[in-house]
Every structure is written in structure tokens, then in C-alpha cells.
Amino acid sequence: MPLVNSKELFQKAYEGGYAIGAFNVNNMEIIQGITEAAKELNSPLILQVSKGARAYANHTYLVKLVEAALIETDLPIVLHLDHGDSFELCKSCIDGGFTSVMIDGSGLPYEENVALTKKVVEYAHSRENYVTVEGELGTLAGVEDEVSVDAEEASYTNPSQVQDFVTRTGVDSLAIAIGTSHGAFKFKPGQKPQLRFDILEEITKRLPGFPIVLHGASSVIPEYVAMINQYGGKMDDAIGIPEDMLREAARSAVCKINIDSDIRLALTGSIRKYMGEHPGEFDPRKYLTPAREAVKGMVAHKIKNVLGSEGKA
Ligand code: G3H
Ligand code: 13P
Ligand code: ZN
């Protein structure tokens, strides 16, 4: 099966009360771990590439690895640009075979966000194979591409803007800020994790049937944080979004849930454990085999218990 855009996947997810996992990919082991889990559970997938991932692994390598995963799995897979920050970057990914892009103008003044997003949409939708576009309104706290946004500076999405934004830009999905946050330190120590479901409800009322995206949606799985801490790491205050909240979001208009930090934690926890137990080992295949298995297990858990996308491919 060739790569697909997100249009039909989101429509089915919306109607079926589940979400598609959008997992960040940076190398072969991560792609294999994610796609092997999805194949076993017959789940659709979004594999997303950030600007940093593209700089690290190279566009062609990532596209070819994802093409290999298509051959191996025969699943509906979207190849998506995560947090595109310019028209040129989005265009380069569209021209280079991506089936979906995000243009993140959320840090710009509203009218500039509208203008930039519209420009990307016009280009993406005019391709022979319609490329889907995700826009963003509202800003998340946390760290992405080495840019850190303080919780105080982050702002929730304003529901009164969403209709105007979607109509004028023509985006296919909208990322919103309701309290999720990028990275592994999403809440201050002692702070109670909270998502603003009231804002999500307001947005859904104004955009009936329209797919909503949640960034910063790792649950920062305690098992892997503990493993990292046990084997010489220091992530004591790491805290994520409770999985029951994410499951609730997946049942609603949220059709795409972004997960990167949980992949990093599974991989790193597993490698730390292996190296701690085998200090003389220096064959990367030895420690990357359990690390890939850890990613696979984590993704299977998300598909079954958070996203609800098992059997939906
Ligand atoms: O939201 C950002 C993703 O976690 C990607 O992170 O830009 O460090 O690759 P990155
Ligand atoms: P996490 O840091 O919570 O995994 O979020 C990832 C993300 O939003 C990628 O765009
Ligand atoms: Zn993000």
C-alpha cells in the first residue's frame, strides 16, 4: 500500500471515537519498533519527522526507511512533517514525498499565522496527490527543537478564533493548546496534571466533525523514568499527561495524538539498563535489540490503551 494522507484516516477516527498515534521518527530502530507494533495490532499510523530529525537522519534516509516499513507492514501510513516553521521547509517535504505537513505559525501574530498557513495549504492541496495540512492555534509549554516555552508564556487556544482560522486557511486539521506540553517535564513538581476539556468542547461545537490534534501528549511512562533513574540517569521530576485523560480525548474530536518523549524514554531506559547490566558490551546490535523491543512494547500499549486504534487499519 502506498503512503496515504490523513484525510480518510481522520474521518474514520472521528466517527469511530479513536485517535491515530503520530510517532516521531529519527532512525531505523524507532521506525521498526513503531511499525512492528502497529502491524501486529493492525493499526493505522502517522510517522512524523521534525526539522531536527530531518537534519539528523537526512530526508532521503527517512523516506526510504518509511517506504521499507510500508512494504513490510502493508498498513495505511502517513508520512508527516512535524512543526514545519516555514513555507520552504513544507514545500521541500511535499516535493520530497511527504503526504502531510504541519505548518506551525502558532508563535506568530494571528494574521501572520493565517497568511503563512494559507500559503502552505494552497501549495499542498494543489499537488496531484492532495497533501493534508495541520495548522496550530495557541501555544504549548515545553521544549521543541531546542526552543523552550515557559508555562507562563504558553496560552490556551481561544475557541472564538478557530472557525475563522480554519475557514480562511483551509487546513485539514488543527492543533490546539489545552494544557499538554512538549518534553518529559510537563508539570511542576506537586502540580496536578489538568487538561482543559471545556476548551476542547467549545472548539468542537464551533468545528463540528473537524479533526483536532494534541501535541505534547506523552504520558512520560513511569516505568522508563524509573529505569533511567536506576541506571545512572537523573529525571526525578519527569511527569506527563495521565493516560485516562488522553483516552478521553481520543474518544472525542481529537483524531491525532503526538508522541515523542515516550519513545525517547523507552529507548534510553532500555539502553541504560542493558549497558548497566553489560558494562563490557560494545556491539550496538546487542543494546539496540532490546531498545527496539521497548519502543514496540510502548507503542502497542498506546494503541491498545490510549489511542483505541487496534484493528482499524
Ligand atoms: O514537538 C517536538 C518533537 O518532540 C520533536 O522534537 O524537534 O527535538 O526532533 P525535535
Ligand atoms: P511529547 O514531547 O509529549 O512526546 O510531544 C511530542 C510532540 O508533540 C511532537 O510534535
Ligand atoms: Zn509538537
Q: Is any atom of ligand 1 closer than 6 Å to the C-beta of 264?
A: no
- Please report whether residue 313 resides in a domain: no
- Name which residue sits closest to atom 8 of ligand 1, judged by CA: 145
| Residue 20 · residue 45 · CB < 8 Å | yes
> Which grid coordinates are listed for 202?
467549545
Separation of 280 CA from ligand 1 center, angstroms? 32
- pLDDT tens sequence for the chain (313 residues): 999 999 999 999 999 999 999 999 999 999 999 999 999 999 999 999 999 999 999 999 999 999 999 999 999 999 999 999 999 999 999 999 999 999 999 999 999 999 999 999 999 999 999 999 999 999 886 766 665 666 656 699 999 999 999 999 999 999 999 999 999 999 999 899 999 999 999 999 999 999 999 999 999 999 999 999 999 999 999 999 999 999 999 999 999 999 999 999 999 999 999 999 999 999 999 999 999 999 999 999 999 999 999 999 9
* CA gap 156, 199 in Å, rounded: 8
Amino acid 142: pLDDT: 72
Backbone angles phi, psi at 73, to 5 degrees: -110, -30
Asked if 82 is an active-site residue, the reply is yes
Q: In CATH, what number is assigned to the domain containing residue 59?
A: 3.20.20.70
* CA gap 190, 252 in Å, rounded: 28
Question: How many separate domains does the chain show?
Answer: 1
Amino acid 139: pLDDT: 85
Q: How many helices (H) and strands (E) does the chain have?
A: 12, 10
- Name which residue sits closest to atom 1 of ligand 2, judged by CA: 216
Amino acid 145: pLDDT: 62
- Please report whether residue 168 resides in a domain: yes
- Please report whether residue 312 resides in a domain: no
What's the predicted TM-score (pTM) here? Answer: 0.96
- Please report whether residue 271 resides in a domain: yes
* CA gap 18, 301 in Å, rounded: 14
Ligand 2 nearest-atom number relative to CA 186:
3
* CA gap 22, 38 in Å, rounded: 12
Query: Angle at Cα 44 formed by Cα 38 and Cα 45, nearest 5°?
Result: 75
Ligand 2 nearest-atom number relative to CA 220:
3
- Please report whether residue 2 resides in a domain: no
Amino acid 153: pLDDT: 60
Separation of 219 CA from ligand 2 center, angstroms? 10
* CA gap 38, 296 in Å, rounded: 8
- Please report whether residue 237 resides in a domain: yes
Bridge partners, 254 (sequence order): 212
| H or E stretch covering 62 | helix 59-73
β-pairing verdict for 142-144 and 132-137: unpaired
Q: Is any atom of ligand 1 closer than 6 Å to the C-beta of 24?
A: yes
- Name which residue sits closest to atom 3 of ligand 2, judged by CA: 216
* CA gap 106, 121 in Å, rounded: 15
> Which grid coordinates are listed for 62?
527517512
Burial (0-12, 13-18, 19+ Cβ within 10 Å), 282:
exposed
| Residue 10 · residue 29 · CB < 8 Å | no
Bridge partners, 258 (sequence order): 22
Separation of 205 CA from ligand 1 center, angstroms? 30
Separation of 61 CA from ligand 2 center, angstroms? 22
* CA gap 296, 294 in Å, rounded: 5
* CA gap 223, 213 in Å, rounded: 26
Amino acid 158: pLDDT: 96
- Name which residue sits closest to atom 7 of ligand 1, judged by CA: 145
Q: Which ligand is nearest to the CA of 56?
A: 1
Q: Which ligand is nearest to the CA of 145?
A: 1
Q: Is any atom of ligand 2 closer than 6 Å to the C-beta of 219?
A: no
- Please report whether residue 282 resides in a domain: yes
Domain assignment of residue 210, given as a range: 7-307
Q: Which ligand is nearest to the CA of 23?
A: 2
Separation of 164 CA from ligand 2 center, angstroms? 26
- Please report whether residue 159 resides in a domain: yes
